[in-house]
Amino acid sequence: MKIAVLFDGAGLARLGLEQAGHQCTGFEISPLKHLLSLHVGSGNCVHADAREVDLSGFDAIWASPPCQQRSVANTQHTISSPYADPSLLAWALTLPHDILWVENVPVSAQADRWGKRWNAAQFLEQPRQNRVRIVGGRHKLPEVYWEYRRFYKGLSHAIIAHEYGGADMNFTASQAFGRDLSIAECGYYQGLDIPEAWYHVPEGVTGLRWRINIYEAIGNGVPVYMSYAFGKRYAI
């Protein structure tokens, strides 16, 4: 299928769908996240506002609108990203495509009636992390290794966007491990082999800003093995 991946970030969800055999085009408004996405999978990512893109030529849509305000792991308590518009979730759910995945974080049992809860641990025979997400829209259910649970024994961590704060920041996997996780380690838990190009700081960007950008992109991304499982249900 031809799939538009909206709010592509660093391309993790797109990579999983491409690995499942689909032709994907990502759309990402953040210039720094877009630079990362160009080196992931096909690199087919367009720097654009998802709401302004013509989506009529696509068979399916994957949308992961920013969840900063909704996330319980938001340690800043304010929206720091200019792209984190809380109305984007509702907008994505109204897209008319017959095959539609809309992914976001859960808030509460009462508030999240628009989709089904999944844990990243369900999608690997040897689970790597507890990471609960909701996926709504219209789609076939993926095949999984395990029934849904909020927590699985032996897994006390989930990679989040604030891993750059390391073990000193609440909710991070680094805090759970008692040490700062490297970029490569965070990528591993999300199913991503870090591209070599990511380790080269672009001109005009400080090393610290680029490092934070990478950690945010990995932590905000969809586990590659998760989107792969959803895409595999439509593989020929």
Which pLDDT tens digits describe the chain residue by residue (236 residues)? 999 999 999 999 999 999 999 999 999 999 999 999 999 999 999 999 999 999 999 999 999 998 755 544 444 444 455 566 778 999 999 999 999 999 998 887 667 789 999 999 999 999 999 999 999 999 999 999 999 999 998 898 999 999 999 999 988 999 999 999 999 999 999 999 999 999 999 999 999 999 999 999 999 999 999 999 999 999 87
- Domain of residue 21, residue span: 2-232
Q: Tell me the pTM.
A: 0.92
Q: What is the CATH number of the domain that holds 155?
A: 3.40.50
**For the chain, how many structural domains are there in total?**
1
Cα–Cα dist 159/223, whole Å? 10
Q: Give the torsion sign (CA, 147, 130, 60, 63).
A: positive
Residues with Cβ within 8 Å of 201's Cβ and at least 6 positions away in sequence, in order, are: 207, 210
At 82 the pLDDT is 56
Instruction: Compute and round to an integer the Cα radius of gyration of the chain.
Output: 16
